[in-house]
Structure 1
Amino acid sequence: MHTTDYDLLIEQARAITAGEPDLIANLSNLSALVYEVLADVNWVGFYLTREPETLVLGPFQGKVACLRIPFGRGVCGTAAVTRETQRVVDVHQFEGHIACDSASNSEVVVPLVVNDEVVGVFDLDSPSIGRFSEADAEGLSRFGRFVEQLNWRSL
């Protein structure tokens, strides 16, 4: 079982983004931070809403990823449409799962909402089935609330 101090993670995120107005620079460092801090993850990153109803790959850590995901497709698209964090114990049991990396077996996706618009999602994959607990989903959702406070106007 993995335990992560999400309060400390958010403090670290606040420290590395303080004073930097560029969103892409901040999202890049945040994906690297989470990739290094969380155990047993093989992909951490962001998909950004760049076209209506379409998520486009943003800053990430891990293997090559899917470039575009329509709202409503896969775990990321489901999070974008429902505006609710998706915690998937076994992605192979998730109807419509998009397999960008066949090594991924569990996933958490946090929708990012700014001014009542879905501006993107924060996506984490693990090679282990059941890697993410409810506590992880809650902590990562809180991390997402922090990300929403960044300068989204700089996109």
Structure 2
Amino acid sequence: MEKEERYKELIQQAAALFSEEDDLIARMANLSALLYMHLPHVNWAGFYRNIHDKLILGPFQGKPACNPILFGKGVCGTCAITKKVQCVQNVHEFPGHIACDADSKSEIVLPIIEKDTLLGVLDIDSDRYGNFDETDIIYLTQLLDIIFHHNTCENK
């Protein structure tokens, strides 16, 4: 299955799964599971929440994770401080990379922002170099809109 098709299915599943669920933590937990199960070569998928200007581990799937992460440190902390997507093709070349899992080779981190305030980040690691690209950014952004802003694919 091609990447776009996989994401379109994930968006439909997420919209259906979250249509009756108002609890944000439950939504984050289920999205972590969906991403971990359905995206190829993903070895960690989850959330860090912004609590007092530190990233604190939230719902995730994968091996135990580093916690807390300071703003500006590693890929997640860089995303938090810049409020910009970080799509890293080789984490070993990223200055200050925090190696929670030695098997991780590429990573994508998206900021979760509401009214200019960083709520947290979505972090996904892969055991393959170059596993993430612009397609991931587009569809992961749509998935975040579904769980954080209650948008459905029909609202897009």
TM over 0.5: yes
Matches within 5 A, 1:1-155: 3-5=3-5, 6-51=7-52, 53-150=53-150
Q: CA deviation at 1:146?
A: 2.6
Aligned length: 149
**TM-score, structure 1 normalization:** 0.89
Identity of aligned residues (%): 48
Unpaired segments of 5 or more residues in structure 2?
A: 151-156
Unpaired segments of 5 or more residues in structure 1?
A: 151-155
Contact 2:49–2:55 (Cα < 8 Å) also in 1? yes
What CA RMSD, in Å, does the superposition of the two structures yield over aligned residues? 1.6
- Distance in 1 separating the partners of 2:130 and 2:45: 16
**TM-score, structure 2 normalization:** 0.89
- Distance in 2 separating the partners of 1:54 and 1:2: 36
Q: CA deviation at 1:81?
A: 1.3
- Distance in 2 separating the partners of 1:4 and 1:103: 25
Q: Structure 1 segments of 4 or more deviating over 6 A?
A: none
Contact 2:107–2:126 (Cα < 8 Å) also in 1? yes
Contact 2:28–2:47 (Cα < 8 Å) also in 1? yes
Contact 1:88–1:107 (Cα < 8 Å) also in 2? yes
Contact 1:35–1:61 (Cα < 8 Å) also in 2? yes
Contact 1:4–1:38 (Cα < 8 Å) also in 2? no
